Every structure is written in structure tokens, then in C-alpha cells.
Structure 1
């Protein structure tokens, strides 16, 4: 009699590779269906469930690829990244990496970008639901403490950068239109994603100055440091106005959960 450990190993091997001796551990007295047929049905159901997860998490990517290429991608991904997660929510997390490193998908960099954008949309939607800062929280900070203000963003906030029109293509396909040409931008385009007050996922483009601010705050910079860096884009008298207006916009959109100061 085989040990439980051996049976489990054979079972896992069968699920991942579709072969092996697992059927030998299954009783053969179940009517007209053989042990091999029964385990095959189970294995097919396992693969179908995982494929459904990929189709759900990456709906627009699937439409961009079409059925044949999507099936090819899924088969290759399942072989390269067998599921090791307790939750199916995380099963697709390596799809951008797979598309970026495996032909023929790696020959079209927009595919990995599309997949990464959809991963970030899911991350924004699934982020922890914590209280957000309010305008009165900012108003309550004493003027002398403003230079020391640090910002902690809501966990749903995500940053995305692209070179191949991934977001515009995603929007077009979502609207039942043809995707944008996958031409390479001269410079990276940047986007901000988050879950709003109504628990809906949003995204918008980011200019270089606002992206700089967000990245600096994420790294622990304070208001004074950020204002100094904004001199790259703005005249000295414009910097405080732009910096404060940006913070007010973030508050309205629910992007901030906490302000910190030196005291």
C-alpha cells in the first residue's frame, strides 16, 4: 500500500502534468467509468477552473489575444507557474512576467503591460479598507509644521508606467472598440490607480511633476523637500500653490489616509 505522502505527490504531479501513476491509487469499481477516466475528468476540471480565473482576472488581455493565443498563453503559463497559492486571487500574479519572457508573447511588449495594468487594477480593488484623511485633518496642522508634513497614501493607490499604449488599448477594448496601435512612446507614460470613496476603481494619467511628488512622499520626503524638487518644473512663487492644490486633489479623490508632522 502506498503511503499518504506518495499518493499526495502522485496526485499533485497528475494535476500539474496530466500524467503519472495516480490512477493506480483509485478504486476501479465505479460502474462503467474507469479509474483513468475519473482522474482525467478531475484533472480537466482543475485546469478549467484555473483557466476561468485567468479569464476573469485578465478579461481585456484575453480579448486582445483572441481565443487561440489565449489558450496557448494559458497552457504555457500553467506549465511554467503551477499554482502554489491557497487563494486563487493570487494565481495570475506572474502572468506579466511570463508574457515578458516567453515567445511569441515577448515579441509584443504591450501584452505584458496590459497584464500588469490589470494586476494593478485588481490590487487597487482588493486593498485594505481603511479610513481616509479628510480636508479638516490638513487644516488642523499648524502653519509652522507645514514644512515637515509627510503623507501616507491609501493602500489602494498604485502607480503604473507604460511605453506601448496599454491603458488606451484597455479602454478601447473595454468600450468594444479596436485597440490603439502598439507603438512605442518616446518617453514612458504614467498613470495613477486607486479605489475611490464609492469603492470603485479609478485611474488617470500623471504628469511628471505630480508623479515626482507622489514618489517622494512614498519614500518618506516631507513637504519642504517636495517643494524644493518641484523647482525643476515650476517657478518658485508657483511651487507652494501647486503643491497644496495637489494635496487637496488627493484628499478629494481619497488617495490619502494620514498626515504626519515632526511633532
Structure 2
């Protein structure tokens, strides 16, 4: 390894890990000591990562304000050094960090807001896929419907949140004053997906969330309706199942359907 490459490696370690060994190879300037000069690079690197986090979590930043968000962001940079050249990957662990790290873990709304924004970002970045249309269902005879299974669109995912983060997110998005943070007696069951090029989410009733989760696991439509019958009026289970299915197809949340053997 050349001496220059070794110095580059030491410089990088100093920025990424706080290792000050490289200071022995840096000269003081006429105006500043080497610690201050190197600190400028170290702070600039952290600030660039925090700026990327602001872009990925625009509404969490709006909710916290500049000072608190930047303080949180630099704490995340110190705790979770970047390990990938793609900046979009850097903030992937933010919801878990906020859920497990004081003082942020004392405010569950923060990790929930971060999780919602992460899910929307992931939906935007998800792979392309065909979108199942209502017309595609016309090719299946009534007697095979019980055997139909459905494939979620690559952008579709489910998320359960224990706070009113969705209501706060919507208020912030609409430039409205957000409601106070609250923990919910029952989790908010969200479906997140990309419609055309726009990430979307909506809250699902408990019954529909169960049906989506089971359908995503390949459970056929007939069995799904049997499961719905345990939630409410058994006689209306098939109609409710068809209604949920209609909504998923209309919103572009499914990518395919297939019949059993």
C-alpha cells in the first residue's frame, strides 16, 4: 500500500469512527490547530448525512424542527455509521433507532412517523410490476373463484402503528396544525403502496387487514371468505371479501391472480 493510500485510509477512519490517529500526520495552520481543521471535515460529513435524512424524512423534520431534528440526526450518525455508498440506504434504521434510543424512545410518535415515511419511501423505490385490472377477473368462471390467489404489487406492504402518526402525518402534509400525539388502544393497520408514481397509504379495518395479510401469504379466496365469516355476519362474508378485493384492484395494489390446480 502506498503512503498516500495509507493516509487516505487513516483520514477516512478518522471521519467515520472518531479515530484521531491521523492527526499525527496533519499540520497546524497559522490560524487553527489540526484538531479544529480535521473537525471541519468530520462535522461536514455528518451534516451531509443529516441533510440526506432531512430529505428522506421531510415531515418528521417538520414535526421536530431544525434544531431537534439535527441533534437527533447527528446522534444517529454517531450510532449508525454509514456502510453503503447509496445515501437512500443510510436512514433505513432510523425507526428502530428512535424506538430503542433515549430520549427518543420516550416518544413513540417519533419512531412511528419515521416508520411511515420509510414505508412510503420504500414504496416509491420498489420494483415495477404489472397492475391487476378489474377486466382481468372476467376471465375466471365463478366455479374457480374459491381457488384464486392474489399477488401483491411489489410496492405494497403492511404497517401497524401504535400511535396516531397517520393523522399527524396527514396534517403536516396538508400544512395544518397536527393533533397532539396519542397512543392508540388498537394499532392503526396501514396498507402502503405506489399508485402510478405516487406512494399512498390508507388505514384498513381489522377484518380487511387480516384478509390482506392472509391473501399476501397465498391463501385462496374461498378460504379467505371462510375466515371473514368468523369476524362478522357469515352470510355476508363472500360479499365483504369481494368488496375488499375490488378496492385492492381499483387502487392498483395487486399485480397478479392465479387459479389453483
| Cα distance between partner residues in 1 of 2:242 and 2:4 | 64
Q: Where do residues 247-262 of structure 1 align in structure 2 (5 Å cutoff)?
A: 247-262=245-260
- Please state if 1:203 is matched with 2:205: no
1:84 Cα shift? 0.3
| Cα distance between partner residues in 2 of 1:150 and 1:25 | 64
Structure 2 residue aligned with 1:181:
180
1:179 Cα shift? 2.1
Q: RMSD value over aligned CA atoms?
A: 2.5
1:40 Cα shift? 4.2
Structure 2 residue aligned with 1:212:
210
1:5 Cα shift? 6.7
1:246 is matched with which residue: 231, 244, 254?
Answer: 244
- Please state if 1:60 is matched with 2:59: yes
| Cα distance between partner residues in 2 of 1:235 and 1:5 | 71
Q: Where do residues 213-228 of structure 1 align in structure 2 (5 Å cutoff)?
A: 213-228=211-226
Q: Unmatched 5+ residue regions in structure 1?
A: none
1:6 Cα shift? 4.2
* Residues 73-106 of structure 1: per-residue CA shift (max 9 Å, x gap): 1121111100001211110011111111111111
| Cα distance between partner residues in 2 of 1:111 and 1:261 | 43
Structure 1 residue aligned with 2:13:
13
* Residues 92-133 of structure 1: per-residue CA shift (max 9 Å, x gap): 011111111111111111111111011001011111111111
Structure 1 residue aligned with 2:87:
88
Q: After alignment, is 120-129 or 5-14 more displaced? A: 5-14
Q: After alignment, is 174-183 or 122-131 more displaced? A: 174-183
Q: After alignment, is 80-89 or 128-137 more displaced? A: 128-137
What TM-score do you get using the length of structure 2 for normalisation?
0.90
* Residues 187-236 of structure 1: per-residue CA shift (max 9 Å, x gap): 11211111113x11211110011101100011221111101100122323
| Cα distance between partner residues in 2 of 1:87 and 1:212 | 35
Q: Unmatched 5+ residue regions in structure 2?
A: none
Q: Is the alpha carbon distance of 1:129 and 1:33 closer, same or farther for their aligned partners in structure 2, counting shifts above 3 Å?
A: farther
In the alignment, is the contact (CA less than 8 A) between 2:229 and 2:235 conserved in 1? no
1:59 Cα shift? 1.3
What TM-score do you get using the length of structure 1 for normalisation?
0.89
| Cα distance between partner residues in 2 of 1:164 and 1:249 | 25
Q: After alignment, is 71-80 or 13-22 more displaced? A: 13-22
Structure 1 counterpart SS, 2:102: coil
Q: Is the alpha carbon distance of 1:117 and 1:227 closer, same or farther for their aligned partners in structure 2, counting shifts above 3 Å?
A: same
Structure 2 counterpart SS, 1:185: strand
